[in-house]
Structure 1
Amino acid sequence: MSTSNIKLAFIGAGGMNREHAKAFADIPGVTLAGIHSRTRSKAEALAKETGIPLVCDTIAELHEKTQADLLVIALPEMSIRSVAEIAFALPWTILMEKPPGKDLEEALGLEALAQIHGRRIYVGLNRRFLGSTEAVLNDIHSRQEPRFIRVEDQQSLETARMIGHPEEIVQRWMYANSIHLVDYLRSLCRGAVKKITPISRWNPAAPAYVLAAVEFESGDVGLYEGTWNGPGPWSVTVNTPGRRWELRPLEQAKFVNAGERALNEVPQTDADKNFKPGFRRQAEEVLKAMRGEPSRAPTLASAIETMRMIAAIFEVA
């Protein structure tokens, strides 16, 4: 693989791969090489829109004709396993959209499959790369202070059904969509998880409120608050003795210093203005990892640790 010219292929012709294509195409040295989708007409439309020169009928053809270094997979959860069984056997690095499997069991199966084939797999946890998130990380990493992280999640199973998700995924919606919020606990707190204590438990028969405390070996503490089938925000607050941060919406960072009342707003980055927020920076980090440079690109193992946290918070398999 040339470190100065990365050939990129895609499986899936939905909106997520449209955004990935835009982000990667903006980086010098990246060539969009080809795409495959179960529905060829959709692949042809996305290829025309994004400048992808080749549409392939099979995954094997996609690899053979593009010799791509990096494959981006963005598919509905129910399609992931069958595609991975073919794609993981071919010699390319892979970036998968989240979640990496419909539940923890399937994700662990994908990890085992990747190990059999010796494949490097990264997962698209783009909110780690929002300009707002990176502003918080840069600040709290510069000060060795204890951290209390609170995440507020809101989900609607009826909305999930209305937008066409199969019931098998609706019943696993904490993996499919709450991963966006739960991952903040792992990315903002330090060290391994020490203990997870459900406070208000998940009731699949009557979903309402889920509350759980998460303690880390570093001494950092997280609190997950989920409102199910009711109104609520997606938000993150980060409390330290010297500064309190708030992400609400997640793309907007604001902070208050200790001893002050003024709310300071951090300007949105150009990368988040010009691309789907987090995608441009995420693409850079994946390419760094491919070049063997220090990188924050989330590995499959890292995403699975977030899924383990979800399983413990909701007390599900």
Structure 2
Amino acid sequence: MKKGFALIGAGLFGQRHAQAYQRHPLVDFKYVCDLDAARAKSVAETYGAAAYTTDFNEIMADPEVVAVSVATPDPAHRDAVVAAARAGKHILVEKPLATTVEDAEAMIAAANEAGVKLMVDFHNRANPPMVAARDAVARGDIGRPSYVYTRLSNTIAVPRDMLKWSSQSSALWFLGSHMIDVVGWILNDKPVRAYVVSRDGILKDLGVDAPDFHVATVEYESGTVGVFEHTWILPDTYNTVKDLKIELLGSKGAINIDGSHNRTMELYTQQKGAFPDMLVPPFGPHLTGFVLDAVVHFVEAVLFDKPVLATGEEGLANTKIISALIEAARLGQPVQLPR
């Protein structure tokens, strides 16, 4: 029997949630909610939602809705998540869970009090090369992990043109939250100390009040050292909108992941060359691509009482770590990371 799901926040990634709900055979896609009524209407019509609204309280009042996705901008998750919990709805919230520890704790408290599931959409935990890397580390294929280098960056078009709220976030929040989570997940390890460097100026000259980049050296409990590089200033001419690389060196081997330039397909036009993403987008009418797969994890957690892919508590830990990394950059000296 189908159950009612709804989407709050119909932007770029919200539409991925809409695709998953439209395609899942056990989902009755009830609502799309967005402050932009025209966008809410368009996304609802495109992905087959029964209704659209600009007021999420309409969704909360509908007893047929059992779960919601919250895909509003990074700093704007709390109100919708807390309202959904109080209305007894299960919740899938985009990463990062919050950009303040206070907001993250409030959301977890509301979900716990209501007894509803709260999943943070760290969808790289469903990304095939990340899953394969975690399995390889767990099997001991590369021995004891010693060093990890991670890069996830975007072209400057993302903060300048795609994200109207980029001044309220940063590449560290928007991208680094993914990598801090997935590297810890692959290693089954926790970060304990970090030194971070950040610079600004290029984005501010374009009217975006956000750092150009963060580079963090992070030490883990096991002794593994990671370097995280996240920037929003790759040139517009770059042949992918993102640059995703992971190199993991161990005592007996290594793992290299190319999540952006793997050249499964190369496309060359008169304007530029491009490497279209073969892992993220759905192809055809089915539930394909790891981003939609992560939403399926949520649907099955709700319908069959399965564990979620990433818990609210894991989202809180991530928010605490990113906040500490930002403070380390401000101080210009190493900091201990919260456990």
Secondary structure of residue in 2 paired with 1:83? helix
Determine whether 1:310 maps to 2:322: yes
Matches within 5 A, 1:130-169: 130-143=127-140, 145-147=143-145, 148-154=147-153, 160-163=159-162, 165-166=164-165, 168-169=167-168
- Residue identity in the other structure for 1:223: V
User: CA separation of 1:52/1:209 partners in 2, compared to 1, >3 Å: closer, same or farther?
Assistant: closer
Whether contact under 8 Å (1:157, 1:173) holds in the other structure is no
CA RMSD between the two structures: 3.4
Q: Deviations over 1:257-292 (max 9, x none)?
A: xxxxxxxxxxx6798655674223212322343323
Indicate which of 298, 304, 308 corresponds to 1:286.
298
Determine whether 1:249 maps to 2:262: no
Stretch of structure 1 that moved more, 284-293 or 130-139? 284-293
User: CA separation of 1:271/1:240 partners in 2, compared to 1, >3 Å: closer, same or farther?
Assistant: farther
What is the aligned length? 297
Whether contact under 8 Å (2:245, 2:258) holds in the other structure is yes
User: CA separation of 1:308/1:36 partners in 2, compared to 1, >3 Å: closer, same or farther?
Assistant: same
Aligned residue number for residue 178 of structure 2:
180
Aligned residue number for residue 77 of structure 2:
80
- In 2, the alpha carbon distance for the partners of 1:49 and 1:39 equals 15
- Residue identity in the other structure for 1:32: F
Aligned residue number for residue 312 of structure 2:
300
- Residue identity in the other structure for 2:291: F
- In 1, the alpha carbon distance for the partners of 2:90 and 2:55 equals 18
Secondary structure of residue in 2 paired with 1:91? coil
Offset at residue 68 of structure 1 (A): 1.5
Q: Deviations over 1:180-226 (max 9, x none)?
A: 23223222122333x2131x533567957644333333444422234
User: CA separation of 1:219/1:78 partners in 2, compared to 1, >3 Å: closer, same or farther?
Assistant: closer
User: CA separation of 1:104/1:250 partners in 2, compared to 1, >3 Å: closer, same or farther?
Assistant: farther
Gaps of 5+ in 1: 255-267
- In 2, the alpha carbon distance for the partners of 1:56 and 1:154 equals 34
Indicate which of 13, 18, 22 corresponds to 2:15.
18
- Residue identity in the other structure for 1:191: D
Indicate which of 211, 216, 219 corresponds to 1:215.
219
- Residue identity in the other structure for 2:96: P
TM-score of the pair, normalised by structure 1: 0.77
Secondary structure of residue in 2 paired with 1:75? coil
TM-score of the pair, normalised by structure 2: 0.73
- Residue identity in the other structure for 1:38: L
- Percent identity for Structure 1 against Structure 2: 18
Indicate which of 91, 111, 114 corresponds to 2:111.
114
User: CA separation of 1:132/1:158 partners in 2, compared to 1, >3 Å: closer, same or farther?
Assistant: closer
- In 2, the alpha carbon distance for the partners of 1:202 and 1:76 equals 23
- In 2, the alpha carbon distance for the partners of 1:80 and 1:97 equals 8
Gaps of 5+ in 2: 203-210, 236-241, 265-277, 331-339
Secondary structure of residue in 2 paired with 1:178? helix
Secondary structure of residue in 1 paired with 2:72? coil
